[in-house]
Chains A and B, each alone.
Chain A
Amino acid sequence: MITMLAMALLIASLAAVPARGGPARASGLYTAAREVSPWWNASAISGEYVSAAAFLGMAGLVLAYGADMLWLPIGAAAGHVVLLALVTAPLRRSGAYTVSDFAEWRLGSRRVRRAVSACVLVIGWFYLLPQFQGAGVTLSVISGLPVWMGWLVVVAAVVVLVLPGGVRSITGVQAVQFWLKLTAVTIPALVFIAVWRLQNDADAARPPYFHRDTTVTADTAAGIHLTAPAVVAVTGVLDGRRHDGERLRLAAGRHQVRAGTRMRFPAGSPVPHTSRIALLRGDRWATPFAGGREHPLAATYSVLLATILGTMGLPQITVRFYTNSCGSAARRTAGLVVLMLAVFSLFPALFGTLGRLYTPELLMTGETDATLLLLPQRMLPGVTGDLLTALVATGAFAAFTSTSCGVVVAVSGSIAQGLGGGARGFRAAVLVAVAVPLLVAPWACSPQSAALVTVAFAVAASSLAPLLVLGVWWRRLTPAAATAGILAGGVPATAAGLARVLGDPGPGSGWLGTLVEQPAIVTVPLAFAVTVAVSLLTPGRIPDRTERAMARMHLPDGLGPDGPR
């Protein structure tokens, strides 16, 4: 039954995946793409944005860390407000397809273009990694297949869909996906609220405990932490000894579980926590800044800064606005995106809370990305639960694949020129874009995809945001300053991101640990400061085209010099 479901899910999601084209023959794609109404384009952008991170990951983060994670959806929506206010219309009027095109057009420098393209590539890698991980978790929860199968399926889908190049961008399909995802989230939400109200036996203010008898299987070897003694039936290897289903009394404290071990917890026993997730009692979980993290306020500001300014630097977002007919259509699109994302920001809190009540064993396995997938069967055992699971999983898998396609196309469009240009360069770029995250995925330590997405945001905010904001609004920006700013912010943010992704058991403690986890609070101001300072130091190198570029970006559509049409 469940395997059938998985197969149906795969076929359905792959059929639903948009055939998004690479700009291998750019001009054909561009002209074809520029007829999309703001409403449809906003649906498509939102559909792409509400991807792995928002769709599954954020609920999992709320489950594990509580109120402190509610800032993430806030920042994501705010990022689009800032994008709308500062960048959208001027960027569209510039006629640039990617941020790399914008940099070259605005500053007339190949060197800046190369620096920007390198950044776009890094951001794309950091963004693809969590998509792969999310797909892996989804597939393994649904079908029990190993995690890496999910990665391979997504990569295969991306390569098959994107590699031929010249495929037209089908915004309509993506837009339909947004409404599919909204349905996939809304219907379970309404059902869950009703069931929650009816059962009403749950209380978020208690430490996490199993509400009913629960069997947990450890996918990987893990250290778990038990707060109170528990009687557990164990099949497999626990603390170095083999058991065959007999009941043990486990003392409070640390225990070591080998991969494949099954543990059956009776109702009422406390939930052991993986060593990666700190145990939070209900009250601290529900209160902002009470989660026992170090420097929680600074970490929160850093996340907010990264998401708010990083949104404009995500390659797949900027490319999308190109399909609007003109600057003001792009601006209206961005406004609608804010509206659509606002609807979604309600769900992480709801699903996270429900997850803590109904799927607390995820705190033990650490696979909190699976929250939304497990909830339906827990709350509504039987056919209804299975159908809801299928609905959610289909939406999720479609999200991973379409987001990956979007990122790969945008990244490849940016870097193809450096790899020989044309269709060959584009194909090489596609392979470079997917190969690196696929190779890194087995070594990445954090299974929480939403947490990994913040790394991409941090790099984008520290490197491309200064270029875009100052490039659009400040006449004195010079090419040297743009490059310097990208390096000053992008390099430390990337280093921190690598340490975060590959570091096991996680970054150290204290200020350094906080900054490695959330570097934006330092790297974003640094990048802006360096860009402004170097610009002021190189006043003789302001490009001649600046005045004309400003006019084209800021004059209303059709009035600017050599406008896009």
Chain B
Amino acid sequence: MSERVTVTGPPSGSARPPHSPAEVSGGAGASPVRSLMRVQAAYAALTCAIVALVSGGLPLLFASEPALSRIRILGVRLPWLVLSAVVPVVWVAVARRHVRLAERAERDFAAMARHE
């Protein structure tokens, strides 16, 4: 009844046993890695862009508008307040957001790999 066939290549399609994505990642089937990397690279680029924008923009802003330095909030000069209290909060928010996004991308990938 059953027919013997010679298997010459790696198993493919639904005939294969439940596999680990490690197989997917090797050799010819590297595209899942690439797509995950693209997503992660986009998140990383966005995070770095925010960091670059803030740390690149603020010096320019304070250098071109010295009047900002004369503004006082609760007796503290604006640049001092921004640099020692506001920017660190921005960093924390950016870092938290990045961790969340990167972990979600990996969860989605793992779920997809299991479903396949």
Which A residues are within 8 Å of any B CB, using their own CB? 67, 70-71, 73-75, 77-78, 80-82, 84-86, 89, 286-290, 296-297, 300-301, 304, 308, 328, 331-332, 334-335, 338-339, 341-343, 345-346, 348-350, 473, 547-548, 550-551, 554-556, 559-563
18 CB < 8 A contacts A-B = A67-B69, A70-B79, A81-B51, A81-B91, A81-B98, A85-B48, A289-B62, A301-B56, A331-B99, A335-B96, A338-B91, A342-B88, A547-B27, A555-B109, A556-B106, A559-B109, A559-B110, A562-B22
The residue of chain B having its C-beta at the shortest distance from the C-beta of A336 within the complex is B95
**Residues A74 and B66 in contact in the complex (CB < 8 Å), given A86-B48, A338-B92:** no
- Please measure, in the bound complex, the distance between the C-alpha atom of A563 and the C-alpha atom of B22, giving whole angstroms: 9
B interface vs A, CB < 8 Å? 20-22, 25-27, 30, 33, 36-37, 40-41, 43-44, 47-48, 51, 54-56, 59-60, 62-63, 66, 69, 77, 79-80, 83-85, 87-89, 91-92, 94-96, 98-99, 102-103, 106-107, 109-110, 113
Q: Are the CB atoms of B56 and A346 closer together than 8 Å? A: no
A74-B83, A89-B102, A559-B20 known; A84 vs B95 contact (CB < 8 Å): yes
Q: Which of A70, A297, A560, A561 contacts B83 (CB 8 A)?
A: A70
Classify the secondary structure of A's interface with B.
helix
* Interface residue from A71, A287, A304 paired with B66 (Cβ < 8 Å): A287
Given contacts A89-B102, A332-B99, contact A339 B92 (CB under 8 A): yes
Q: Point out the residues of chain B lying under 8 angstroms from A547, CB to CB.
A: 26-27, 30, 33
Besides A296-B63, A562-B22, 18 other A-B contacts (C-beta < 8 A): A70-B79, A71-B55, A74-B55, A78-B91, A84-B98, A301-B59, A328-B106, A335-B98, A335-B99, A338-B95, A339-B92, A342-B91, A348-B84, A349-B80, A551-B30, A554-B33, A559-B22, A560-B25
Q: Are B95's CB and A339's CB within 8 A?
A: yes
Checking A75, A288, A335 against B55 with a beta-carbon cut-off of 8 angstroms, the contacting residue is: A75
A288 touching B69, Cβ below 8 Å = yes
Q: How far is the CA of A300 from the CA of B40 in the complex (A)?
A: 30
In Å, the complex CA distance between A547 and B32 comes to 12
Contacts of A80 in B (CB 8 A): 91, 95
CB distance from A301 to the nearest CB of B (A): 6
Q: How many Å lie between the Cα of A85 and that of B50 in the bound state?
A: 11
The smallest beta-carbon distance between A514 and chain B, in angstroms, is 14
